[in-house]
Amino acid sequence: MATPARAQTFSISELAREFEITTRSIRYYGDKGLLAPGRSGQTRVYTAADRTILRLILRGKRLGFSLLESHEMIELYDPTTGNVTQLETLLRKIDEKRAVLQEQLTDIRVMQRELERVERRCREALSKPAPKRGTKLSKATTKPGAKAGTKAKSNVASTPKSPTTSSTTSPRKTL
């Protein structure tokens, strides 16, 4: 007479090793109600179903889904209906995630162009010769509507040099 095959079970450390995560992460998923291990004395015992759920949680995490989203999709598992609701929900979430990622890519491209623009201006400013020592940085400009040759008033308040102020530093407009 053959003995019935015992269902395959896993310890928390076996699952942690297999999925390259910490035992603390696995306990956390259990605390959140995503995993429901059995007990053998003080030891948590995980079934093949728990292992599959853990795999799905980690896959959802890699795809950018929250634990709640992963949990909702796992709860929709129903092989009697061909998992239609679960698969439709997953497709909708994929579309939503893709739209968010597309928006982030657009934002990144805009930021890269802005960084390139600022970098170009900085390099241009550095390629110009620095003003000679003691030279004022203000430019003679004509006020709109004023006669040619008339200097515009500078909006920059002049600051008297103190004995501790170094005359060797000259600020440059970079941005």
Based on the domain organization, do 52 and 81 belong to the same domain? Answer: no
Whether residue 157 lies inside any domain: the answer is no
Residue 56: domain span: 7-63
Whether residue 45 lies inside any domain: the answer is yes
For the chain, what is the domain count?
2
Q: What is the DSSP letter of 34?
A: S
Based on the domain organization, do 40 and 14 belong to the same domain? Answer: yes
Based on the domain organization, do 18 and 55 belong to the same domain? Answer: yes
Least confident of 12-21, 43-52, 123-132: 123-132
Based on the domain organization, do 57 and 94 belong to the same domain? Answer: no
Based on the domain organization, do 80 and 119 belong to the same domain? Answer: yes
pTM of model > 0.85: no
Whether residue 111 lies inside any domain: the answer is yes
Instruction: Transcribe 120-174 into DSSP letters.
Output: HHHHHHHHSPPPPTT-------PPTTSPTTPPPPPSSPP-PPPTTS-TT------
> What is the share, in percent, of the chain residues with pLDDT greater than 90?
62
Based on the domain organization, do 54 and 83 belong to the same domain? Answer: no
Based on the domain organization, do 27 and 58 belong to the same domain? Answer: yes
Whether residue 159 lies inside any domain: the answer is no
For residue 21, give the CATH number of its domain: 1.10.1660.10
Whether residue 35 lies inside any domain: the answer is yes
Mean pLDDT of 103-129: 96
Average pLDDT, the chain: 82
Whether residue 70 lies inside any domain: the answer is no
Whether residue 115 lies inside any domain: the answer is yes
Based on the domain organization, do 59 and 90 belong to the same domain? Answer: no
Q: With bands split at pLDDT 50, 70 and 90, how would you rate the model's confidence at 153?
A: low
Q: State the Cα torsion 38-65-20-55 to the nearest 10°.
A: 50
